A and B are shown apart, each in its own frame.
Chain A
Amino acid sequence: MSKQPCDMPSAGRTMHPCDGRVVSTLTRRGVVLAALASASLPLLRHLPAYAAIDDVTEVAPGVFVHQGLYEVQSAANGGDIANASFVVGSEAVAVIDTSGSAKLGVQLRDAIRAVTDKPIRYVINTHMHPDHVFGNAAFKQDNPKFVGHYKLARALGTRKEGYLAANEQMVGSDAFAGSEVILPTVSIKEPTKLDLGDRELLLEPQPTAHTDNDLIVTDLKTETLFLGDLLFSVHVPTIDGSIAGWLSVLDDLEQRNVARVVPGHGPKTMELPEALAPQKRYLSAIADDVRRQIAEGKTLEEATKSAGFSEKDAWELFDQYHVRNVTAAYAELEWE
């Protein structure tokens, strides 16, 4: 049943050690132990920024989610813009995405420790983006397995310097202190189960979609599907892989029958298939417009001025990301 995950050969564990200054000085405000699904909870964006990552909600028994803000990384939010989760088994804990800095990772770890003393055995990254991986450093002390899609190591390796510089610039050097790129030590190429004791997580690597290293995690016990950035809600989707591939993965996800999904950006939980609809509409609008414009001989510049603009009022951060999405879509779809 469970396949043995393959260990990465000498994946870069020789980077700068997490320095000792990473200390959580924020007051722990207690873990919100809400019962079961909580899509109706007020959005965390209305809370004061950058003090809230220890605010996690138990969305199903043993499944905890912290909701990030619908913002771009900044000094004000410290990089707390993506959802981060953990799952507690009878023997061990798995973390699923670690937020955007070592300090936020420490806060997430504190939130875990407020719930359980069980060892943190796995730190899983759903994909390469900085707002999901830079908290990894806070878990080095637990000596976990760092787990990701088999293409995650390459993707992070080639982007390491750029990601570090850009994110330090965006959140500030104090807030970013101690953050580092930690490459996966377990690399997932085939569907693989991880055992946490009386509950298993199913890890499924995806073909290129949001990125070329998207990994879906399912807590089989509660039928909770962690989609990472394969699902955006409220926050406009960002294309850093393949728009055609992403639409195809969404078709697959529509067929799934689970209790709840956790998006990478959006409310703590949502339900299938309706959670997918707005994002599918957004990506389809871009793909349809761009394909038509390519067929008409329109240029990339022309496409960036009109494709998908019917979606402008449906999303937060549209102005920040939409033209980039159209650019990526055009450069991909012109080769169809």
Chain B
Amino acid sequence: MTHALKKLSRTVCGVVLAASIGVLADTSAFAEEDLWPTLRAEAFGDRPIAEENGYVVLETPKKVEDAAIVPLTVRIPPHVKDKLKSLSIFIDNNPDPKVATLNFGPAAGVGGERSFATRVRVDNFSHARAVLELEDGSLHMATKFLSAAGGCAAMQAKDPDADMAGIGKTVVRTFSPALSSNPIWSGQVMIKHPNHNGMQLDINTATFIPERYVREVTVERDGELVFKLDSTFSISTNPNFRFTFAKGDNNELDVSVVDTDGVAFDGTTKRESGS
């Protein structure tokens, strides 16, 4: 569904500043058309979206140092008691603005602060948005501006050979809360995957390295769904997710991953000694 949008916002490779190992000198040259009305209409139609009402908080770095690995955290403060239905993250001016969409299941948890964190690529000066959908269908949005650009260089692997080695290795961890009475636990999924965006030229063949990225991640706790996540290549190389889930009986996480080549990977906490 995002194909048209990809076309719409795909900037000419390299017109934007690249992060080489240099430092961005000029952050004043931001003059892009506003893509949000289109994105919004496509994702949510004409449903009302409450903005900056404290239901959802988006945290981004004050200064982006590496446009290829920008940490992004979404928090749903403890005063929000509702069950969560979905969470959508956008970076308006990325080649694919839809970064990730999570559809939550019964093990997503209630009764404390819930959160989701990942690392994203930023292709151009852009708004980043987190849109939270509660069980009652209401939509709540937090927005931040990212003053950073990596051009296509933001998508470059530091060591492409190392990135391809061990592709699909999936590490899953849980972190028990300080208070054992806390109904919310947190977990982490790390996936070894280059997340190729299809825009890198292979100099040896003069063709573009084919798009290949993680498109679906499903996390279950003790067999119950925490969330199913649809993602794009706006997620950094070696996709990394931190999230919360409802405390269960065993608190074992099983994770299944599918990439755009249709290759499936999986990971679990069961093979490791639980933490």
Determine whether B247 belongs to the interface, using a CB cutoff of 8 Å to chain A: no
Q: Smallest CB-CB separation from B236: which chain A residue?
A: A331
- Enumerate chain A residues within 8 angstroms of B237, measured Cβ to Cβ: 331
Determine whether B46 belongs to the interface, using a CB cutoff of 8 Å to chain A: no
CA distance A323 to B18 in the complex (A): 17
Choice from B16, B19, B22 contacting A73 with Cβ under 8 Å: B22
Choice from A157, A212, A240 contacting B203 with Cβ under 8 Å: A157
Does the CB pair A163–B13 fall under 8 Å? Answer: no
Task: Annotate B2-43 by CB proximity to A: 1 below 8 A, 0 otherwise.
Answer: 000000000001111111111101100000000000000000
CA distance A301 to B18 in the complex (A): 23
Does the CB pair B20–A129 fall under 8 Å? Answer: yes
Task: Annotate A146-166 by CB proximity to B: 1 below 8 A, 0 otherwise.
Answer: 000001011011111111111
Q: Smallest CB-CB separation from B162: which chain A residue?
A: A208
CA distance A212 to B156 in the complex (A): 12
Does the CB pair B151–A331 fall under 8 Å? Answer: no
Does the CB pair A183–B203 fall under 8 Å? Answer: yes
CA distance A162 to B153 in the complex (A): 5
Does the CB pair B20–A169 fall under 8 Å? Answer: no
Interface of A is mostly: helix
Does the CB pair B69–A161 fall under 8 Å? Answer: no
Does the CB pair A161–B18 fall under 8 Å? Answer: yes
CA distance A170 to B24 in the complex (A): 8
- Enumerate chain A residues within 8 angstroms of B136, measured Cβ to Cβ: none
CA distance A335 to B190 in the complex (A): 9
Task: Annotate B43-59 by CB proximity to A: 1 below 8 A, 0 otherwise.
Answer: 00000000000000001
Does the CB pair B25–A169 fall under 8 Å? Answer: yes
A165 with B18, Cβ < 8 A, contacts A72-B23, A74-B25, A157-B202 known: yes
Q: Smallest CB-CB separation from A242: which chain B residue?
A: B159
A300 with B71, Cβ < 8 A, contacts A162-B151, A211-B158 known: yes
Q: List 5 A-B contacts (CB under 8 A).
A: A156-B203, A163-B20, A166-B18, A323-B63, A324-B65
Inter-chain pairs besides A129-B21, A159-B153, A208-B161, 13 sampled, C-beta below 8 Å: A129-B20, A153-B203, A157-B203, A159-B18, A161-B14, A162-B13, A162-B18, A165-B18, A208-B158, A299-B117, A304-B71, A321-B23, A323-B63
Q: Point out residues on A near B: beta carbons under 8 Å.
A: 9, 11-12, 72-74, 129-130, 151, 153-154, 156-167, 169-170, 183, 208, 211-212, 238, 240-242, 297, 299-301, 304, 320-321, 323-324, 327-328, 331, 334-335
The 8 closest A-B pairs by CB, nearest first: A161-B14, A162-B18, A157-B203, A162-B153, A166-B18, A324-B65, A323-B65, A162-B151
